């Protein structure tokens, strides 16, 4: 089920002919949680993550991939845990491992996640993102908490295709979508069917690079 209120109609938009410059689909059933280290416990939190999930918490603007969970850097001592929605809510899953070292807050309902790719995806993003997305500067595994069209978003480059994921505040999603549609229109865009979010383990992530 789509996690926003917009009519989500798969198909072309903008320039109708030629290869679409942007392909976009929603990743549904994403579980998210904010992790904020207790005072002076950032290292302990990173260690706790490694023990329980197979990767440390990133200490700079990157994503770290664990066995079944990804951690995105948000700010000093702050992260966002990302995984597929399951019957046990993410906050409960993380509460134990991070007990005493970090506060955990469920955010699964608060964001919409999109995945974007296509030959003109960088040109589309350049219309709103002030950061340099050149492959020499922003590479697979990098994340950025930044502004686009006056909105706070998180951007995450998944692979070198390049494929990006963007987390948008849910209540502002309609405005973001209008910005994306208007920005991609000249290159032509295609909305694809939504897909369930599935965590990609580190080894598999490398293989999935086209």
Partner 1 sequence: MSDPSQSARLAAGGLLDRNDVRRFRFDGREFLGYAGDTLASALVANGVRLLGRSFKYHRPRGLLSAGPEEPNALVELRTGARREPNTRATGIELYDGLEAASQNRWPSLHFDVNAVNGLFSSIFVAGFYYKTFMWPASFWEKVYEPLIRRAAGLGKPPLEPDPDQYDKAWLHCDVLVIGGGPTGLAAALAAARAGARVVIADEDFVLGGRALAERLTIDDKPSARWAHDVVAELRSMPDVRVMPRTTVFGAYDGMYGAVERVNDHVAQPPDFEPRQRVWRIVARQAVLAAGAIERPLTFGDNDRPGVMLAGAVRSYLNRFAVRPGRRAVVFTDNDDGWSTAADLLVAGADVAAVVDARNPETVRELARQWPGVESIAGVVTRAHGGHGVREVEVRTHARATHRIPCDLLATSGGWTPTLHLTSHRGARPRFDATRAMFVPGDVAAGLIVAGAANGEFALADALESGHRAGVTAAAAVGCTRAVPAPPAGERESTRGESLWRVRNCRGKSFVDFQNDVTTTDVELAEREGFRSVEHLKRYTTLGMATDQGKTSNVTGLALMAERTSRSIEATGVTAFRPPYTPVTMGALAGHHRGRDFRPTRLPPSHAWAARRGAVFMETGPWLRAQWFPQVGDQDWFVPTCREVLAVRTGVGVCDVSTLGKIDVQGPDAGAFLDRLYANVMSSLAVGRVRYGIMLREDGFVMDDGTAARLAPDRFVITTTTAHAVKVYQHMHFCHQVLWPALDVQFVSVTDQWAQYAVAGPRSRELLRRVLDPACDISNAAFPYMAAGPIALRDGQRGRLFRISFSGELAYEVAVPARGGEALMEALFEAGRDLGVLPYGLEALNVMRIEKGHMTANELNGQTTAHDLGLERMLSGKKDFVGATLARRAHLVDPARPRLVGLRPIDPRARIAGGMHFVPRGAERIAANDQGHVTSVGYSPSLQQWIGLGLLARGPERHGEHVLACDPLRGTETLVEIGSTVFVDPEGARLRG
Lay out the sheet containing 30-37: strands in order across: 63-65, 70-75, 78-84, 30-37, 102-106
How is residue 105 written in tokens?
A: 């807050």
Q: Interface with partner 1 includes 5 (CB under 8 A)?
A: yes
For residue 165, the minimal CB distance to partner 1 (Å) is: 17
174 vs 201, beta carbon nearer partner 1: 174
41 vs 163, beta carbon nearer partner 1: 41
Q: Interface with partner 1 includes 141 (CB under 8 A)?
A: no
* Helix ranges (DSSP H) in 4-152: 42-53, 90-95, 121-125
Instruction: Out of 53, 71, 129, 164, point to the residue binding partner 1 (CB under 8 A).
Output: 129
Unique residue bearing structure tokens 């664990």? 66
Instruction: Please say whether the beta carbons of 114 and 168 come within 8 A.
Output: yes
Instruction: Out of 60, 130, 193, 207, point to the residue binding partner 1 (CB under 8 A).
Output: 130
Closest CA to 174 of 15, 14, 8: 8
Instruction: Out of 25, 179, 190, 194, point to the residue binding partner 1 (CB under 8 A).
Output: 179
Q: Interface with partner 1 includes 172 (CB under 8 A)?
A: yes
Unique residue bearing structure tokens 């950032």? 42
Strand pairing partners for 115?
25, 165
Instruction: Out of 47, 52, 139, 175, point to the residue binding partner 1 (CB under 8 A).
Output: 175
For residue 140, the minimal CB distance to partner 1 (Å) is: 18
Instruction: Out of 43, 47, 52, 108, point to the residue binding partner 1 (CB under 8 A).
Output: 108
Per DSSP, 7 falls in state: -
Euclidean distance between CA atoms 107 and 113, whole angstroms: 12
Q: Interface with partner 1 includes 39 (CB under 8 A)?
A: yes
């Amino acid at each position: 089920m789509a996690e926003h209120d917009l009519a989500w109609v798969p198909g072309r938009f903008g320039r109708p002919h030629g290869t679409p410059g942007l392909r976009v689909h929603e990743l549904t059933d994403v579980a998210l949680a904010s992790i904020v280290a207790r005072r002076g416990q950032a290292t302990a939190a990173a260690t706790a993550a490694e023990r329980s999930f197979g990767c440390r918490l990133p200490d700079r603007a990157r994503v770290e991939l664990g066995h079944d969970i990804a951690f995105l850097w948000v700010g000093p001592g702050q992260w966002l845990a990302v995984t597929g929605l399951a019957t046990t809510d993410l906050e409960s899953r993380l509460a134990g491992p991070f007990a005493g070292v970090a506060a955990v807050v469920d955010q699964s309902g608060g964001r919409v996640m999109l995945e974007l790719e296509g030959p003109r995806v960088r040109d589309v993003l350049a219309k709103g993102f002030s950061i340099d997305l050149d492959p020499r500067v922003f590479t697979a595994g990098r994340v950025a908490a930044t502004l686009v069209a006056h909105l706070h978003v998180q951007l995450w480059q998944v692979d070198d295709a390049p494929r990006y994921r963007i987390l948008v505040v849910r209540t502002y999603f309609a405005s973001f979508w209008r910005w994306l549609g208007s920005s991609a229109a000249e290159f032509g865009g295609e909305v694809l069917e939504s897909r369930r979010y599935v965590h990609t383990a580190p080894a598999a992530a490398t293989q999935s690079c086209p």
